[in-house]
């Protein structure tokens, strides 16, 4: 009779520089005993789980892509005091002339529209129920606006243009569950 487990890891094929993304590590007890205090590690993130006989558990980790293009190599390590397993996956990190994301920092929910296109212009629009509640057109440079949004579902649109050419357009949906000061950060 032996202890044992199998390990697999799901990662996205590609992400954009600086984006947060989810990695799922699946661990299945393939041995003859329940496993207690199993450590699951991806990079510097660690979680502990217990596995009954034949039990399969999916453990999620939030990872942030580096700020440079390339390949981000990830390794999931799973171990107890007596057994060890690992699986490696690569995630392609791609550059985009426009980055659009949300971040929660304390009590402030931020919409970040970012570009490194010198001389470019970012157009940002926030809609609720099909109606525009915020719009701005600004040159690419460090700048931040704070907008208070009431609870509801929002559609955020952004595009970056230069010399009357649109280089990229993006949109995302976000749900506000309570009133936040919304900081719109434009870099």
Domain boundaries, the chain: 5-94, 99-186
Give whole-number Cα distances, 49 to 22, 86, 105, in Å.
18, 16, 29
Greater confidence (50 vs 135) lies with 50
For 62-119, write each residue's pLDDT tens digit. Answer: 999 998 899 999 999 999 999 999 999 999 999 888 878 777 766 666 777 778 777 8
For 141-169, write each residue's pLDDT tens digit. Answer: 655 555 666 777 889 898 988 888 888 89
Place of tokens 């009133």: 179
CATH class of 99-186: mainly beta
pLDDT of residue 102: 77
Mean pLDDT score, 168-184: 74
Q: Where on the phi/psi map is residue 177: left (φ > 0), alpha (ψ -120 to 50), or beta?
A: alpha
Distance from C-alpha of 33 to C-alpha of 26, rounded to nearest angstrom: 18
| Strand pairing report for 35-42 and 45-51 | antiparallel
Output the CATH code of domain 5-94. 2.60.40.10
Question: How many C-beta neighbours within 10 Å does residue 130 have?
Answer: 6
Mean pLDDT score, 26-53: 96
Could you tell me the pTM of the whole model?
Answer: 0.63
Topology match between the domains 5-94 and 99-186? yes
């Amino acid at each position: 009779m032996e202890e044992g487990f199998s390990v697999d890891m799901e990662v996205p094929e590609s992400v954009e520089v600086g984006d947060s993304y989810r990695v799922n590590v699946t661990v299945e007890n393939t041995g003859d005993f329940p496993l207690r205090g199993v450590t699951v590690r991806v990079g510097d993130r660690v979680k502990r789980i217990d596995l009954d006989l034949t039990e399969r558990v999916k453990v999620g980790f939030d990872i942030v892509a580096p700020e440079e293009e390339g390949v981000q190599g990830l390794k999931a390590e799973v171990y107890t005091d007596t057994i060890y397993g690992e699986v490696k996956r690569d995630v392609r990190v791609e550059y985009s002339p426009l980055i659009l994301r949300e971040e929660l920092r304390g009590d402030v929910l931020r919409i970040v529209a970012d570009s490194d296109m010198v001389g470019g212009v970012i157009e940002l629009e926030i809609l609720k129920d099909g109606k525009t509640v915020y719009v701005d057109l600004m040159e690419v440079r460090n700048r931040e606006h704070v907008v208070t949004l009431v609870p509801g579902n929002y559609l955020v649109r952004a595009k970056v243009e230069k010399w009357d050419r649109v280089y990229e357009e993006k949109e995302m949906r976000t749900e506000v569950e309570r009133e936040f000061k919304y900081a719109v950060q434009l870099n």
